[in-house]
Amino acid sequence: MPSSSEPIVDAVQLVKVFGRTRALDGLDLRVGYGEVHGFLGPNGAGKSTTLRVLLGLMRPTAGTAHVFGLDPWQDPVRAHRDIAYVPGDVSLWPNLSGGEVIDLLTSLRGGVNERLRRDLIEEFELDPRRKARTYSKGNRQKVSLIAAFARPARLYLLDEPSAGLDPVMESVFRRQVQRVTAEGATVLLSSHILSEVEQLCEKVTIIRAGRTVESGTLAGLRHLKHTHFRIDATEPELFHSLPGVQNLIVDGGLVEFDVDPADLSPLLQAVAAAGLSGLTVSPPSLESLFLSHYSGANGQVR
């Protein structure tokens, strides 16, 4: 096993080809120990394919993937021993009860923690006696999440884990992620729900068409992006000539614009001299970071 200074997940130049389709096209992904790492991209970007490669369910066409320093295709039993996985589309055995499915899934990793199982069932408000075929999508998702969290794992691979959950259950899910990471686990969270990633993750990797387009700490990536200003000013003309101001909109006394981080200091001096009656400053959001890689000239996600 690698030391904690090495990545727990290390994928380098992954390629996966299905016929004429390149689902992965040279993707890189590194996840360090103890991280909650957001794995972002729209549907079809290659997120689920990457997770299946990391689980050893698919063999990459090219490139390498290692989990705990192991090749999951060559050594799946050892690689799976400390992994909990929640798929994006949960299918259950229809004639088993929810409780029986939870026990079956946790038995594959050494058995359930009974107290934790009971607490999770209560928190997620699941009736474990009902047959799986009667469950809604949200309840099927709960079964998978309870099975994943009911026995400790070193690595949680979560593929769109909150799909089908209502806002109350989403908050329960977030608490469980925070619990397992406080206990030292690592989480790779694949999602296109930006608010979820923003609340949970310190690092993110953004992919597009099977390639990594940006990766790093959320704070570091935000630092590279613009800050948005909305100002009620008595002298709005002052902002036309300021360096670093972009996307300027002036509507009477209302001024909106974006500014580069390097130009914030002179901009703030000008703001102070502009005769303000109102000021709103919005820090760069994960959504703006995400859309900077996916929006075309017409502003539509492509």
116-150 pLDDT, tens per residue? 999 999 999 999 999 999 999 999 999 999 999 99
Confidence of residue 238 (pLDDT cuts 50, 70, 90): confident
Confidence of residue 266 (pLDDT cuts 50, 70, 90): confident
pLDDT at 49: 96
Query: Model pTM?
Result: 0.81
Top mean pLDDT of 115-124, 208-217, 242-251 is at 115-124
Task: Please write down the HEC assignment for all residues of 269-301.
Answer: HHHHCCCEEEEEEECCCHHHHHHHHHECCCCCE
pLDDT of residue 297 exceeding 50: no
Output the DSSP codes for 107-151.
HTTT---HHHHHHHHHHTT--TTSBGGG--HHHHHHHHHHHHHTS
Which of the two residues, 189 and 278, has the higher pLDDT score?
A: 189
Confidence of residue 284 (pLDDT cuts 50, 70, 90): low
